[in-house]
Structure 1
């Protein structure tokens, strides 16, 4: 692509093709060491009981496909999203077998996750979400934490963006564009102030203040020539979003340079995220006593 000028209007929007493209990187990035305490907590339930797992903002169902085969025991997943087409895809491509060979079934709920209440979660074994928290407002995170804690339901939230991005080789515009993207994540949408890069910390605080036991881990995308399609698509979204918040000199030239370096096999990018596990008040101590 060397010599071809890239325009910022080429930036894609989130779509099923983007969600499918990022799925392998998501699976590699998630912090698997959070699954140990989660498995111990779930094991405290009656033997043979079916786990009811609710996946919020499920998209194409990548969280269910990743997690269901890593947890033992029969599972029934409720895949919840506001997009009916994504729900249809997620159902058609769902994992059907647990870690120990137990059956895994799915059902869908076409609804806004912000309507979730403690009453909805009373029989739920686990709430999950991936790449979601940064799209929520402070009040929505508070309501979600309150619903989970009141229902005594653990929560596993993965891949919340933190705003951190590292490039090799470096470019003079990296820092300004990174700051611009962080501003973009905290944008106002339909009158809602989104938490963006502050979401992981805000969510951990919301659960901790309500007595939950919270563990957080770093989870990173490692992009480059081995994931050239994903890296190019990410750049075509990241640069325009950042430049719209903090205009920089020749952002289009920056994007062209980065795509050229990627095509030559010279570009590496680390995109930082955070994973979070919240266990109900007293659950961690009870799990330790039972183990």
Structure 2
């Protein structure tokens, strides 16, 4: 994927969603990851090099680094120089056991990483990125990580399912149009959208990696009205862009939903999935 083809996400939106992301992440994937990395074993630990792809403002690092033991060096990758600067400045400086955390940044195209470039990397991770990739890009990432023997943790990929309470007759049409928008052809790239997790499971397994998937839903209630309102605008806006014939009904729908949100009456579950892929041979050795 080229640098110019990647969308820019506003820091305000990333900050607004960060608490919901942190609450949603599939913590059940951390134990097999730690076991594979050997971080819970009492021994002298080398520095764990973590590459955070499409790091944005750095929410993955802020969440994950304090949950990993030992010294860590995070390499933050993004095409946006301002977000890289923000992410680096806000990274934690110590891990779970007080191990030192250091940071460096790489601005540019994350779609051309190779096994050689990942040499020495202990973990590749990304958050809210997988569904923005194409099948070819996910396969290339799988090939690079498998070739380097490097585990991968890909968090918060859209699953294509949304539950709204109370329900509305237009929920299904809006949701379907949004999912089609996520699968759109963008600058010549066919995005995976809600098909991304299934594709990742397939291509990482085909490269000989063990794949685990965990649920990571946003659960938004009355206390999350600012995030819910912003999410609603984007969700309905994308649906309307995908299906212009929905525009008049979508406008009325959004008005109804925003009124319920402001009244504290709307509950939303936005389903996501987290994917952990472990090199199979190394995983078997860790379990032995």
CA distance in 2, matches of 1:96, 1:188: 40
- Alignment partner for residue 165 of structure 2, among 160, 168, 171? 168
Partner-residue secondary structure (3-state), 1:122: coil
CA distance in 1, matches of 2:19, 2:161: 20
Per the alignment, residue 283 of structure 2 pairs with 284
Could you report, residue by residue, the CA deviation over 1:145-195 in whole angstroms, capped at 9, with x for unpaired residues? 000000000000000001100000000000000000000100111110001
- Alignment partner for residue 18 of structure 1, among 7, 13, 16? 13
CA distance in 2, matches of 1:283, 1:226: 43
CA distance in 2, matches of 1:281, 1:37: 12
1:248-287 aligned at under 5 Å gives the runs 248=246, 249-287=248-286
Could you report, residue by residue, the CA deviation over 1:55-90 in whole angstroms, capped at 9, with x for unpaired residues? 000000000000000000000000000000000100
- Alignment partner for residue 150 of structure 2, among 142, 149, 153? 153
1:30-41 aligned at under 5 Å gives the runs 30-41=25-36
Q: What is the root-mean-square deviation in Å for CA atoms of aligned residues?
A: 1.2
Could you report, residue by residue, the CA deviation over 1:11-45 in whole angstroms, capped at 9, with x for unpaired residues? xx831100011000000000001000110111179
Partner-residue secondary structure (3-state), 1:157: strand
CA contact (8 A) 2:131 2:193 kept: yes
CA contact (8 A) 1:56 1:128 kept: yes
CA contact (8 A) 1:213 1:283 kept: no
CA distance in 1, matches of 2:282, 2:162: 35
Matched, 1:92 2:82: no
TM-score, normalised with respect to structure 1:
0.93
Could you report, residue by residue, the CA deviation over 1:83-130 in whole angstroms, capped at 9, with x for unpaired residues? 000001001111111000111011000011101111111100000000
CA distance in 1, matches of 2:230, 2:147: 40
CA contact (8 A) 1:118 1:151 kept: yes
CA contact (8 A) 2:9 2:56 kept: no
- Tell me whether 79-88 or 279-288 shows the greater mean CA deviation: 279-288
- Alignment partner for residue 23 of structure 2, among 16, 28, 36? 28
CA distance in 2, matches of 1:283, 1:29: 28
Per the alignment, residue 78 of structure 1 pairs with 75
- Tell me whether 66-75 or 14-23 shows the greater mean CA deviation: 14-23
CA distance in 1, matches of 2:9, 2:83: 12
Matched, 1:120 2:133: no
Partner-residue secondary structure (3-state), 2:46: coil
Please list every run of 5 or more consecutive structure 1 residues that lacks an aligned counterpart in the other structure. Answer: 1-12
Please list every run of 5 or more consecutive structure 2 residues that lacks an aligned counterpart in the other structure. Answer: 1-7
CA contact (8 A) 2:222 2:264 kept: yes
Deviation at 1:204, TM superposition (A): 1.0
Number of matched residues? 277
